[in-house]
Chains A and B, each alone.
Chain A
């Protein structure tokens, strides 16, 4: 459905080149969910922005159903943009406070096809119904809704054009624990009903295990490990994935946290470590890790680590 080939993004800044994303490849299968996980600043949002055409890759290709988005003509690009929609982390910031909910939801619809007033109203009511809000919600403003309801509105807006791929950047992390499950269940239902494909960015690993079919673990702009979620979580191969999983505090007082897991902090993308970017924090690092960048090995469960056999 969606394939990234060696995608790289460098930002030129006054302090030097920020290597935000470096040679990232993965594929999202139709009607499935791929999760991107990794620490803050590792490049997840940058990857999402490139897929949404909000940023242009420095190198590499993004293909949608086999067609390279970089060489699409204007008509194909317009088609691509309406098939790929996004829901962002903060439902407070992503909805224009001065517009009524109906206008917010209709915006992409008017921009892309303008089907006439009655049809627009009907579609707005339809998507509101899908996300579990009454049709009367269209006449109200965002501030009249709770955080969970606002995220439903953002989802309704993304659904209005009947997209095929949705990019969900931390869709529930701004929401309360008791509301998260409502929104996640809603997203799962919509995916089933409309055959949607999801790319989700999340830092809650338990949520990722629950919600995704495939996962890519990113460390400092590179894919450390990727594969079917069940396999990666049951048998993590990359020392970084192992450290991440060991560090998750669990709602169980008998669980012992591994406090030594991944000591230290993620390096700066301005000056990433040589060789394997994880080597300064890796408990298993060997001499070779300092100089040689490990290639991803294994399929479909792959890990980029010198200690991992194919």
Chain B
């Protein structure tokens, strides 16, 4: 296993109270494997990703419990200096949700792609320059050599996303966390990014966590899927099991609610209500207020039920 996360709890200490953004998440990613972390906005996907890099909001964010192991090495207790020197951007890299938060508008892209390579002593001098050209070419920036001096605004949205990917893969990380890498992009550009991530993985064997709310993108890229709802993972399984025989009522409802190409329905099957607040979540099953299968027992936290090899869901209905 490249990554093994067990019972991770990440809290944000806000004026309004303690926000339990990640509330007992366990997941794993193998060599050359892509895990899709899917769920709606605010369910804690990004904060799960940021926890792996220990890049939580300063002051308010804290990992309060659980274990994160990269190739067996525990990261939650690693000193910050070691985290910065040996892990962040080196062995775990993240592609952020909005490419402009990762790119600095006043530095050329050549500078920005060099930075992690220089900081982690991957290359210097002429070798550094040719490495930068190499990774930019790998992410298909046309005439990369001539564009090293250009600034982020001189590139299109799709190209900026690919430049951010170049920064992330330069040091051949063991784990790549890609947070909604295609969300703001058109479908034609989206497929190019999907193809790129696939190619990076084939070339380097990196494990990938793909964070997305788009069930189409997740299906086309992931080997396994973890469905997140209100800070918890409610179902995990191989991609075919999740899409062909979803077991948790939330996964079922989500798959039923999206329109599909080639299928004309007069009405969509909506999920009533809205996700709960993470400051004051319902006790027991967090999907209960919206769940059509809710029963009395659901007021207690549901057990994790093994359904098949590698397929599990947290629900009383399945217990």
Residue ranges of A at the interface with B (Cβ–Cβ < 8 Å): 39-40, 146, 148-149, 176-182, 184-185, 188, 203-207, 209-211, 230, 233, 243-245, 247-255, 257-259, 261-263, 265-266
Contact = CB atoms under 8 A, between A and B. Distances in A.
Contact of A181 (B186, B266, B269): B269
Chain B interface category by residue count: 35 or more
A206 B187 contact: no
Nearest to A268: B156
B186 A39 contact: yes
Contact of A243 (B188, B218, B240): B188
B31 to A, nearest CB: 21
Contact of A177 (B257, B262, B263): B257
B180 to A, nearest CB: 13
A190 to B, nearest CB: 13
Given A209-B264, A244-B187, A251 B215 contact: yes
B268 interface: yes
Interface stretch (B81-89, B190-198, B292-300): B190-198
Given A40-B186, A251-B216, A259-B191, A210 B265 contact: yes
B213 A177 contact: yes
17 contacts: A177-B213, A177-B254, A178-B257, A178-B274, A179-B271, A205-B261, A206-B260, A206-B263, A207-B259, A210-B263, A248-B187, A251-B219, A251-B260, A252-B219, A258-B191, A265-B156, A265-B159
A94 to B, nearest CB: 18
B216 A247 contact: no
Interface of B: 40-41, 156-159, 186-192, 194-195, 213-220, 239-240, 243-244, 253-255, 257-272, 274-275
Contact of A247 (B187, B239, B243, B254): B187
Residue among A149, A176, A253, A263 with the highest chain B CB neighbour number at 10 A = A253
B269 A178 contact: no
A209 B259 contact: yes
A148 B259 contact: no
Given A178-B271, A252-B260, A253-B240, 18 more contacts: A149-B274, A177-B213, A177-B254, A178-B275, A179-B274, A180-B257, A181-B271, A203-B186, A206-B259, A209-B262, A230-B264, A247-B191, A248-B261, A249-B190, A251-B258, A252-B243, A263-B192, A265-B158
A278 B254 CA distance: 36
Given A178-B40, A251-B216, A261 B191 contact: yes
Given A210-B264, A250-B260, A265 B270 contact: no
A251 B190 contact: no
A284 B82 CA distance: 54
B197 to A, nearest CB: 11
B216 A249 contact: yes
Given A179-B274, A252-B243, A257 B264 contact: no
Contacts of A204: 259
A180 B215 CA distance: 14
A183 B162 CA distance: 34
